[in-house]
Homo-oligomer: A and B are copies of this chain.
């Protein structure tokens, strides 16, 4: 029997690197994030980081995605307003915490890095947009929402106020505020 240690050691180094990346960027910002710093905090060599990720942006993106996985499941209880309210509460709480700091850092980095911008869209935004749009399409089919609006447009209306506050910093992101804004959006979309 081959001993399982190497694979186990590898998985735990992978997790340690994702955790270290998160802590480094929260502490130092995107500009202060380096592969050296990540490796040192994770207790691995730089080459171990580069074995799995080509850049600090790539590892940060995976760290973000790993943390948000559970806030992105779209439940289907048959009540679209309740399901969206639960969803937006989770995302608001995430973005009001260190998650917002990390996501803002990534978006800022993406403005001068088109490849990172594309990776964020493909790995973070699009899968969640699609999951939400699928749930919205069911609500349209069930007669809960107007069927003449592209579900992707609805996703934009529902989530845009979160990004507005995240990026402009006009007001803090709070789950109750975001649920109020959701109610107003849904009021215009009833079937």
Contact (Cβ within 8 A) B169 A181: no
Contact of A156 among B31, B149, B164 (CB under 8 A): B164
Contact with B along A78-118 (1 / 0, CB 8 A): 00000000000000000000000000110111011000010
The chain B residue sitting closest to A129, CB to CB, is B170
User: For residues 121 through 139 of chain A, which have their beta carbon under 8 Å from a beta carbon of chain B?
Assistant: 121, 125-126, 129
Contact (Cβ within 8 A) A169 B29: no
Tell me if A159 counts as interface (CB < 8 A to partner B).
yes
The complex is assembled from copies of this chain, and their number is 2
Tell me if A185 counts as interface (CB < 8 A to partner B).
yes
The chain B residue sitting closest to A159, CB to CB, is B164
**Bound-complex Cα distance A189 to B112 (A):** 38
Contact (Cβ within 8 A) A187 B189: yes
Nearest Cβ on chain B to A72's Cβ, whole angstroms? 15
Contact of A184 among B30, B107, B189 (CB under 8 A): B189
Contact (Cβ within 8 A) A112 B108: yes
Nearest Cβ on chain B to A60's Cβ, whole angstroms? 14
Contact of A188 among B30, B31, B184 (CB under 8 A): B184
Question: Do most interface residues of chain A lie in helix, strand or loop, or is the interface mixed?
Answer: helix
Q: A125-B170, A168-B121 are in contact. Are A112 and B31 (CB under 8 A)?
A: yes
Contact with B along A150-170 (1 / 0, CB 8 A): 000100110111011101111
Across-interface contacts of A185 in B (CB, < 8 A)? 157, 184-185, 188
* A residues adjacent to B (C-beta < 8 A): 29-31, 104-105, 107-109, 111-112, 117, 120-121, 125-126, 129, 149, 153, 156-157, 159-161, 163-165, 167-170, 180-181, 184-189
